Amino acid sequence: MASVAHIEEWTDECASIAEIENAFVDLRYRHADDDEPDLRTSVLTHLAWVPGEWQQAATETLAGMGERHPSRTLLLFPQPDEGDGLAARVLLECHELAGLERHLCSEVVELRLRGARADAPASIAAPLLLPDLPVFLRWRGRPDFGSPVFGQLVDMVDRLVVDSAEWPDVPSAYAELAEQFDRVAVSDIAWRRTLPWRRVLAGAWPELPDRLTGPPAETALVAGWLEDRAGLHVELERADTLPVGGDRKPSDLLSDELDAFVRDPVYEAATAAASR
């Protein structure tokens, strides 16, 4: 994996959208090299809605993704209890390319939405989206599916990425999630985490277990998958770790989801079954 070679940074505690857009241009200019121009080909816009308790996890995951998805990333940090305003930190993060002196650069914007700004994130994010490219929304924690904020952001993206292992109320929450499937394509990192487990179970067919043991979200989804695909009802037992796999890094799991562009009917059916 390429390493970070250089980071240019601009910050403003009272920023405007125009100032943020100008910061992109300025950072590129400061880092320009006429002899070996950097590559800045973006393949998507990556939005992330990150409440305060998830901020460290989100920034660590982003740092671990490296150069795999050159993109413009907008990290939305809602701070509704602070005075109204918009604080911004803009980064141009450039990674070394093996065997070349050129760098692959991605843009990262950290936006702190203070006071009433936290109620209207779409009006801030929309002007900063890259045109004619897919938009992914990573929602940290349990979404309030009926909230105006959720509706604003989901209506402007191509895919919603969640991790239902972050939710305290699975499997009942899957009923609300399933209602979103006709509105936006959905990926669940908890489902991705179960792939090695599902492969083992599929390889054991028709000798399938009558009990599954593992973390609540992953176990419920695998149980839903078995019910939908094999008509098999299994008992669930809680454990802290997955029986198979479970050792992949969060950045790798998210990177896999950013490669998916269409709906997954098998996942949707498993989620619907898990909610019953």
68-85 pLDDT, tens digit per residue, is 667 889 999 999 999 899
Q: Where are the alpha helices (DSSP H) in 11-103?
A: 17-31, 55-64
What mean pLDDT comes out for the span 28-47? 66
237-275 pLDDT, tens digit per residue, is 999 999 999 889 999 999 999 888 899 999 999 999 999
183-209 pLDDT, tens digit per residue, is 999 999 999 999 999 999 999 999 999
87-145 pLDDT, tens digit per residue, is 999 988 776 656 555 567 788 899 999 999 999 999 999 999 999 999 999 999 999 99
3-class SS shares of the chain: helix, strand, coil, % to 5: 35, 25, 35
What mean pLDDT comes out for the span 213-221? 98
End-to-end Cα, the chain, rounded Å? 42
The model's pTM is 0.91
Which amino acid, residue 12?
D
What are the two backbone dihedrals, phi and then psi, of residue 142, each rounded to the nearest 5 degrees?
A: -85, 115
User: How far apart, in whole angstroms, are the C-alpha atoms of residue 12 and residue 181?
Assistant: 38
3-state secondary structure of 58: helix
Closest CA to 74 of 153, 162, 13, 147: 153
* Burial class (CB within 10 angstroms; exposed 0-12, middle 13-18, buried 19+) of 257: buried
